[in-house]
A and B are shown apart, each in its own frame.
Chain A
Amino acid sequence: MAETNALQAREKQELQGETTRPGPVFRPEVDILEREDGYVIYADLPGVDDKSIDVRLDQGALTLDAQLATLPETSWNPLHAEYRLGSYHREFRISEGIDASGVSARMHNGVLELHLPKSAQHRPRAIPVQAG
């Protein structure tokens, strides 16, 4: 078998009418997981580096905007194209239980990893039980 299998290449989901920027804007694929102490969002942003991404948290709305760090050179003659190039945009509603001052983000291998810690009163607490 020359070609497999477990992974499906999916066409990027293009967003319509939400930008004034030229060129297409895509909706990145994300995983969102919850841990005891907070939430983590992973977003696939191939071609984006830490300088070409903007993450904003404003009144419960988390917005991420990203551009490609480098573009193919204009002198390259395209022979074949299976994926399109453009910028990325996605928004999330964040619950009140997030400690906005503790949000942190990093880019690695074209993946954004965003940590959203729960504020202290929203973390589960173990209640010590005293003998009576």
Chain B
Amino acid sequence: MAQFSLYRPWAGASWGGPLDQLRQEMDAVLNRFGGETTPSSSWRGVFPAVNLYEVADAYVLMAELPGIDNEDIQVSLERSTVTIEGERKIDYANQEGVSLHRRERQVGSFRRAFELPALIDADKVEAVHQNGVLMLRLPKSPQDQPRQISVQAS
């Protein structure tokens, strides 16, 4: 059984402290144009780079995967851990009668696992791959969502 080393940049002590909160607020002010966010310093350069958002009842995970066909991307989920794996293929490099003047785009396989901050409702996960961007909508499991407890008069 392979040993999983999970990547949880959004968990841990450095997240959510007052300084991070301040940074997020400043980012929000600076990034009102164009929806830009600032890359986190904790990123280790593993492909693919991802952005994670939270909405009321779900997480949204985005990854840039240009030039990869749907059938070459696999997404799996186990409890709160989502795994993205696949392969980027470029077929023209070895063709006959072709000379490459510039080669900047990479090829190869990738696999990356993330543990989300809450349990995910696996049946309701949606994955859309459009314009080379993978978007996963990962609904929080009902048992992890905040509930309103009504207080009854005795």
Contact = CB atoms under 8 A, between A and B. Distances in A.
A42 to B, nearest CB: 6
B contact residues, range: 35 or more
B3 to A, nearest CB: 8
Nearest to B2: A1
Nearest to B56: A75
Interface stretch (B66-74, B119-127, B142-150): B66-74
Interface string B1-40: 0111111011000000000000010010000011111111
A97 interface: no
A3 B113 contact: yes
A82 B132 contact: no
Interface of A: 1-11, 22-24, 29-36, 39-40, 42, 44-49, 69-72, 74-87, 107, 109-111
Interface of B: 2-7, 9-10, 24, 27, 33-40, 43, 45-55, 59-60, 62, 64-69, 83, 88, 90, 92, 97-113, 117, 129, 131-133
